[in-house]
Structure 1
Amino acid sequence: MNYESTVAPESGAVMTLGEQEAAAEQARRRRFAIIAVVAAVVLMALLYFFIHHGSDEAGELAAPPAGQVPVVSVVQPGHTTIDGEIEATGTLAARREIPVSSVGEGGRVVSVPVDEGDWVRKGQVMVVIDRSVQVQQVAGARAQVGVMQANLNLAQANLDRGLKLVDRGFISKADIDRLTSTRDSAAAQLQASRASLAELQARTARLNILAPEGGLVLTRNVEPGQTVGAGGSPLFTIAKHGEMELNAMLGEEDLAKVHVGSLAKVIPVSSGQTFSGQVWQIAPTIDAQSRQGEARIALAYAPGLRPGGFASATLSSGTVSAPLLPESAIMTDTKGNYVFVVGKDDKVQRRAVTTGLVTATGIAVTSGLTGSERIVLRAGGFLNPGDKIKPELSK
């Protein structure tokens, strides 16, 4: 059997084929290791270069050239007439809610001709009470009046005859006095009977429950067959003339800004419609717990206004004439509100201001500005007093 062999150049020793392959594999591994080490060194060098040199170069590129002046938007506010508005919430209610109860002796309810949501006029019958007993009492009293009238007529006739006979001496003066007394007594009894009849008629008339005022029936708490009595709980509640109101709750400061006659717009949660109203009463006191007071806003009747519902209101608190600035132009720190004013030399200076009404278009400045100044519009947070800028007037 023949085996291939070779001679190692250095030693002259003969190497078999397997030994040659092993030596070649070892050489390849050494080359790969050397290449990996070189690549790692190059990568670390590149990383070091970018960390220590790349950021400096980027910073130099981002930095503005020395002496460059930033362009900043400014606004010249002037004076604006601002309608003050105050937001409030509250509960809807009847402006004048009238409870209706029985004012008579009461009795069994025969019928109830009105219901919730009905309109009634003053004096309209709302509940009919059984009066069968009272009708008989009135009839008896009326008959008694007739008896008393007959007695009076007889006594008067006897007195008239006696006066004719006294001159002839048939009867004495004492008899005339007695006949006169009988006539006067009969007249008094007739008057008493008539008074009793009138009382019974009035009592009977009061059995029916009448509407004390015209308006909208809000609640009904009586049904036919029920027995009612005087002084009980209200059988109905009526919104006088259907007038409604919003009991709006306001903080102390806001309450001081409104007055009787202030206009308001009311939006009930249930309908989302807008109704016009007017403040007709302002609470003279402030709640010690909530620190709020009540402003009552009168509203005309509308189906969308339901007592007990929740609504929001926007009240007018008058008008002011003042510079109006966007919210971005006014800044705040521990010293208070301030703006940056651009001087004639285009340098900015801090100026303290006092703000007032807040509207959808901006904030009113009540003191600190005349309105003719140029005010930094948005970049105030990046500026310091004395910085020079290139102002660009915003339209």
Structure 2
Amino acid sequence: MKYEPGVRADANKAFPADLDGIDEVERSVRRRRFIIAAVLLVLGAAIAFFAYTKYVQDALGAGDDDSQLPVVTVVAPGRVTVEGTIGATGTLAARREMPVGVVGEGGRVVSVPVEAGEWVRAGQVLASIDRSVQSQQVQSAAAQVDVSRADAQLAQANLDRALQLVERGFVSKADIDRLTATRDVAAARVRVSQAQLAELRARNARLNILAPAAGLLLERNVEPGAVVSPGSGALFRIARGGEMELLANVGESELSQLSVGVAAEVVPVGSDKTFTGQVWQLAPTIDPMDRQGTARIALSYAEQLRPGGFANATIRSGTVVAPVLPESAILSDDDGSFVYIVGEDNKVERRPIEVGAVRAEGIVVQDGLVGTERVILRAGGFLNPGETIKPVFEEG
């Protein structure tokens, strides 16, 4: 192969020119990249500046802009007239319970002709006690009365004959006095024997255990064959006239709101039937342990009213004027019931209250609110006293 020196020389002269063009293009690309990076850097700095400025403005204006405060619904309850009621629970009992036991000397019971749950009349025999020995004693006493009467008749006859003879002088005045005294003693013995007979008969009559008054027999605690005595306790219990009552336990403050004669509705536990009665007696004392008293509610007889059972009572205590709040506004803790109200500068304040009856329209607030306060209606459990809020009254 032959090489041409001229051609090689020309080629060597052409390479420098091509390298210069390449360097120029590369510098142009670098300049564009630098410019783009600078623009992006300036744009990022501007965005950061504006974001920081907005943050500062928000931070400085937060104290003056209430748009950041929680919006809470409030209500001004006012005061309304509602029929006051007091709820209570208690035990059913006979209004006048009569315990019946042995009033005589007692003995072996031979018959019990009544059962618990039956109606009995006054004087009805509830149980009979064996009187075989007492019957013999009565017969002996009756015979003694006859003996005493015979002696009295004989003494009277002797006196009559002596009086006929005294006029003839056959009998002295002293004999008359002696015969008169004998006649009087015999007459007194008749009366003594009669009294003894009457006593034995009365004792025998007391061997029958009788109902002291008409009513419902609640308990029968004796069976035939049992030996009873005055120390045996109550063998029967009778609800006089079948009248019942509820011994309702009422708080000390609520008891002061009641009066004798107010109506009450009683519902026994396990029954959906309501019985109407009225308070006939209020306890004169308060239990120092639970600070409660007893309101005795008189009830007419009904089969569902069983003494010893529990019942709920709603007692009407007249009309009251007080605020009424929905259940959502009332909170409670270990210190009792309370509500949150909106105070000065829209700050949350805790207000202790005393709740009353639960009505269809809400819960009656007996004490703690005037009615003009702005009471937080809902979400009270998420707030704390002293917190600033934006109150909004409930619409409608």
**Residue pairs, 1:47-86, within 5 angstroms:** 80-86=80-86
| Whole-angstrom distance in 2 between the partners of 1:269 and 1:363 | 24
Cα distance, 1:210 vs. partner? 0.4
Cα distance, 1:367 vs. partner? 7.9
Task: Find out whether 1:150 has 2:150 as its counterpart.
Answer: yes
Cα distance, 1:185 vs. partner? 0.6
- Listed one character per residue, the Cα deviations across residues 187-232 of structure 1 (whole Å, up to 9, x for unaligned) are 1110100010001100111111101122111111211122222221
| Whole-angstrom distance in 2 between the partners of 1:274 and 1:93 | 17
Maintained 8 Å contact 2:94/2:307:
yes
Maintained 8 Å contact 1:220/1:236:
yes
Q: Aligned partner of 2:181: which letter?
A: S
**Residue pairs, 1:275-294, within 5 angstroms:** 275-294=275-294
Cα distance, 1:247 vs. partner? 1.8
Q: Aligned partner of 1:157: which letter?
A: A
Task: Find out whether 1:243 has 2:264 as its counterpart.
Answer: no
Specify the alignment match of 1:130 in structure 2. 130
| Whole-angstrom distance in 1 between the partners of 2:332 and 2:231 | 63
Is the alpha carbon distance of 1:191 and 1:332 closer, same or farther for their aligned partners in structure 2, counting shifts above 3 Å?
closer
| Whole-angstrom distance in 1 between the partners of 2:239 and 2:283 | 21
Is the alpha carbon distance of 1:235 and 1:354 closer, same or farther for their aligned partners in structure 2, counting shifts above 3 Å?
closer
Cα distance, 1:356 vs. partner? 5.9
Cα distance, 1:258 vs. partner? 2.2
Maintained 8 Å contact 1:103/1:231:
no
Maintained 8 Å contact 2:131/2:207:
yes
| Whole-angstrom distance in 2 between the partners of 1:388 and 1:131 | 89
Task: Find out whether 1:262 has 2:265 as its counterpart.
Answer: no
Specify the alignment match of 1:105 in structure 2. 105
Q: SS of 2:230's equivalent?
A: coil
Task: Find out whether 1:117 has 2:124 as its counterpart.
Answer: no
Identity of aligned residues (%): 58
| Whole-angstrom distance in 1 between the partners of 2:100 and 2:122 | 12
Q: SS of 2:276's equivalent?
A: strand
Give the count of matched residue pairs. 326
- Listed one character per residue, the Cα deviations across residues 148-181 of structure 1 (whole Å, up to 9, x for unaligned) are 1121122112212222221221211011111101
Unaligned runs of at least 5 residues, structure 1: 1-48, 61-65, 342-346
Higher mean C-alpha displacement, 301-310 vs 289-298: 289-298
Cα distance, 1:85 vs. partner? 1.6
Cα distance, 1:317 vs. partner? 2.2
Q: SS of 1:311's equivalent?
A: strand
Unaligned runs of at least 5 residues, structure 2: 1-46, 59-64
Maintained 8 Å contact 1:329/1:339:
no
Cα distance, 1:238 vs. partner? 1.2
| Whole-angstrom distance in 1 between the partners of 2:283 and 2:66 | 63
| Whole-angstrom distance in 1 between the partners of 2:332 and 2:305 | 43
Q: Aligned partner of 1:246: which letter?
A: L
Maintained 8 Å contact 1:72/1:392:
no
User: TM-score, normalized by length of structure 1?
Assistant: 0.69
Higher fraction of helix = 2
Specify the alignment match of 1:44 in structure 2. none
Specify the alignment match of 2:139 in structure 1. 139
- Listed one character per residue, the Cα deviations across residues 222-279 of structure 1 (whole Å, up to 9, x for unaligned) are 1112222222122111112212222222222222222322322111113232111222
Is the alpha carbon distance of 1:67 and 1:170 closer, same or farther for their aligned partners in structure 2, counting shifts above 3 Å?
closer
Higher mean C-alpha displacement, 351-360 vs 205-214: 351-360
| Whole-angstrom distance in 1 between the partners of 2:66 and 2:298 | 65
Cα distance, 1:369 vs. partner? 5.1
| Whole-angstrom distance in 1 between the partners of 2:248 and 2:340 | 34
Maintained 8 Å contact 2:339/2:375:
no
Task: Find out whether 1:221 has 2:216 as its counterpart.
Answer: no
**Residue pairs, 1:26-65, within 5 angstroms:** none
Specify the alignment match of 2:6 in structure 1. none
Cα distance, 1:286 vs. partner? 2.6
Coordinate RMSD, CA, aligned:
3.9
Maintained 8 Å contact 2:72/2:389:
no
| Whole-angstrom distance in 2 between the partners of 1:188 and 1:152 | 9
Task: Find out whether 1:96 has 2:77 as its counterpart.
Answer: no
Is the alpha carbon distance of 1:175 and 1:358 closer, same or farther for their aligned partners in structure 2, counting shifts above 3 Å?
closer
Maintained 8 Å contact 2:84/2:320:
yes
Is the alpha carbon distance of 1:122 and 1:297 closer, same or farther for their aligned partners in structure 2, counting shifts above 3 Å?
same
Is the alpha carbon distance of 1:195 and 1:234 closer, same or farther for their aligned partners in structure 2, counting shifts above 3 Å?
same
Cα distance, 1:77 vs. partner? 6.2
Maintained 8 Å contact 2:267/2:273:
yes
| Whole-angstrom distance in 2 between the partners of 1:142 and 1:83 | 72
Specify the alignment match of 1:39 in structure 2. none
| Whole-angstrom distance in 1 between the partners of 2:278 and 2:190 | 59
Specify the alignment match of 1:198 in structure 2. 198
**Residue pairs, 1:331-350, within 5 angstroms:** 337=339
Q: SS of 2:133's equivalent?
A: helix
Maintained 8 Å contact 1:73/1:376:
yes
Task: Find out whether 1:274 has 2:284 as its counterpart.
Answer: no
Q: SS of 1:231's equivalent?
A: helix
